[in-house]
Amino acid sequence: MKKPIPEVHNQRLMPFRWRELDGRVLLTGDAGDYAWLERETFGDFLAGTLSKEHPAYADLERHNLIRGPHIEKKVMDRVGARSHHLFSGPNLHILILTLRCNQACVYCHASRKPKTSKGFDMDLETAARVLDVIFESPSPDLTIEFQGGEPALNFDVLRFIVEEGYRRNQGGERNLYFSLVSNLSTLNQEQIDFLVDNGVMVCTSIDGPADLHDRNRRFSKKSSYKEAIKKIRAFERTYKRRGLDKELAYVNALATVSRSALKKPREVVDAYVRMGHKVIHLRPLNPFGMGLKIWAREGYTAQEFVDFYLEALDYIIELNKQGEEIMEKLASLMLVRILTDEDSNYMDLRSPCGAGLGQLAYNYDGRVYTCDEGRMVGAMGDDLFCIGDVHQNGYADIIRHPGVRSMCVASCVECLPGCNECAYAPYCGVCPVYNYIMEGDLVARSPVNDRCRIQKGILDHLFRRLAEPGMEDLLRRWTESKDRSSVYRRIVP
């Protein structure tokens, strides 16, 4: 039987959280510092009997887990730096240019409409009002992200927003960025030129090798994989013609993990290596807007995803050791939280979450939601996360909507049951929309929450791997992302 953890009699402890993992104890501090202790040593640490000569003592001191001169001030300053998102206001503005799509993905959300449908495109008047709201946000950085449906099907409005956005920002008061999330299939060379010349970042989906991708992303009688690769190459040629650094200018891709992918983690990674991509983002299916029938066919348990993910992650690490330069994006975002004091501003791994205060989602008809996930719930007929309409409300009305405060309160990790004492609180984030869909409540019941299980499963593994000799140096490289903003500026003809 394990010896019980003793009561705390150590006045020199800094606030910390802890978790037992593989028979050892992982301690984490508010500023993201962490240290490992043997269980016995942990008991001595709590009891105040850990000798200063013990090697663990210096480690705890180095990681700011023992009080000392100026430690509290240092930790507070670092917590401030890690919480930079609390000081800026919404910087990500997601615009649903259309609900229409020319592909029919097997896991697609309920909001998708056929390509030929009428009445589901954002019009110019709505687009102009959306820009009014966006430019009222106090954030010095503004990213306008085009999504759908397939947003490129409404390219005229995309073009208007980019040109009008730059016009409104002529003084360069804001750092203005554009990004397009697209299956790329409808883009012609003139449109690709426009996107490259106007510094629009492009992100697409590659779910793995051709057979898997084509199975997931149905595209009449064509191969959606071949179309995507063809267009990625067209972008690469265009970036090259413009003299842009290929290390910085490239099409981002992410892999949505469907049930068919679960047994093919290595094949999915290999597909990215073959494409020459240096980043792969393995994203679990989410239940937003997805019908129960689709979930029953395509969904899986948290453990199934974690098993898939960890095998893929270990494989990527092995490839790294063999000299292949590739990293997994979700792990890299978590590693940024673990190994650095940077605020990557990733909406899913921050506290409070990005809903309302970090991002706003604008539906094609002008309705505004706390986030794109909230918009997807709206597509299911539940407008709980709708916080305004650009035709009736200005930015102030939208940001002061009670829904924004509710989302903020419901996503303060430090104040949530199951999260506030979790060792991973300094690195994690919650999604109240996910909780609402899965549990009917903005606040999760952590022990039965699949999203929590996935995050914990991944973080457990990252910490295990970080404890291996030499591994921190390898994984730290994943946190050193290059600043790509220089290539996402408008190219003046």
Partner 1 sequence: MNPTIQAAKNMVSIQVDEKVFPRDVVVAAAYIFIDRCYIRLERALRGRVLARIKGKKKLSRNQLVNLADEFENELLHQLIRRQVAERTDGLREVIVGRALFSAEPESGAEAAQAEPQEDMDYLDDPLGIAIPWEEKYGDDKKEEEGQ
DSSP sequence for 303-351:
HHHHHHHHHHHHHHHHHHHTT---EEHHHHHHHHHHH-------GGGSS
| 204 vs 370 by CB, closer to partner 1 | 370
Dist. CA 37–CA 97, nearest whole Å: 52
Radius of gyration of the chain (CA): 23
Decide if residue 265 touches partner 1 (CB under 8 A): no
- Residues in 401-430 at the binding interface with partner 1, rule: CB under 8 A: 404-405, 408-409, 412, 414-418, 420
Q: How far is the CB of 388 from partner 1 (least distance, A)?
A: 13
Q: How far is the CB of 409 from partner 1 (least distance, A)?
A: 6
Decide if residue 247 touches partner 1 (CB under 8 A): no
Q: How far is the CB of 390 from partner 1 (least distance, A)?
A: 15
- Residues in 90-119 at the binding interface with partner 1, rule: CB under 8 A: 90
Decide if residue 137 touches partner 1 (CB under 8 A): yes
* One of 88, 169, 175, 238 touching partner 1 (CB under 8 A): 88
* One of 87, 324, 480, 489 touching partner 1 (CB under 8 A): 87
Give 376's contacts (C-beta < 8 A, 6+ positions apart). Answer: 109, 110, 111, 288, 289
| 142 vs 404 by CB, closer to partner 1 | 404
Residues 210/223, Cβ–Cβ less than 8 Å: yes
| 82 vs 213 by CB, closer to partner 1 | 82
Decide if residue 351 touches partner 1 (CB under 8 A): yes
Instruction: Give phi and psi for 135, each to the nearest 5.
Output: -75, -5
Decide if residue 40 touches partner 1 (CB under 8 A): no
CB atoms within 10 A of CB 350: 24
- Residues in 427-446 at the binding interface with partner 1, rule: CB under 8 A: 440-441, 443, 445
Strand partners, 178: 144, 200
* One of 208, 356, 388, 426 touching partner 1 (CB under 8 A): 356
Decide if residue 79 touches partner 1 (CB under 8 A): no
- Which is it for the CA torsion 463, 465, 470, 475, positive or negative? negative
| 81 vs 491 by CB, closer to partner 1 | 81
| 28 vs 351 by CB, closer to partner 1 | 351
DSSP sequence for 184-210:
-TT--HHHHHHHHHTTEEEEEE--SSH
Dist. CA 414–CA 411, nearest whole Å: 9
Nearest to 8 by CA among 33, 22, 27: 27
Decide if residue 455 touches partner 1 (CB under 8 A): no
**Binding residues with partner 1: total (CB under 8 A):** 32
Give 4's contacts (C-beta < 8 A, 6+ positions apart). Answer: none
Q: How far is the CB of 86 from partner 1 (least distance, A)?
A: 5
Beta strands in 350-429 (DSSP E): 359-362, 367-369, 386-389
Decide if residue 491 touches partner 1 (CB under 8 A): no
Q: How far is the CB of 88 from partner 1 (least distance, A)?
A: 6
Dist. CA 139–CA 188, nearest whole Å: 34
Decide if residue 156 touches partner 1 (CB under 8 A): no
Residues 100/120, Cβ–Cβ less than 8 Å: yes
Residues 327/338, Cβ–Cβ less than 8 Å: no
* One of 47, 56, 86, 273 touching partner 1 (CB under 8 A): 86
**Cα 69 → chain centroid:** 37
Instruction: Give phi and psi for 360, each to the nearest 5.
Output: -135, 145
Angle, helix 39-47 to helix 55-62, in steps of 10 degrees? 70
Q: How far is the CB of 384 from partner 1 (least distance, A)?
A: 14
| 89 vs 199 by CB, closer to partner 1 | 89
| 453 vs 490 by CB, closer to partner 1 | 453
| 236 vs 397 by CB, closer to partner 1 | 397
Site residues (vs partner 1, CB under 8 A): 85-90, 136-138, 351-352, 356-357, 394-396, 399, 404-405, 408-409, 412, 414-418, 420, 440-441, 443, 445
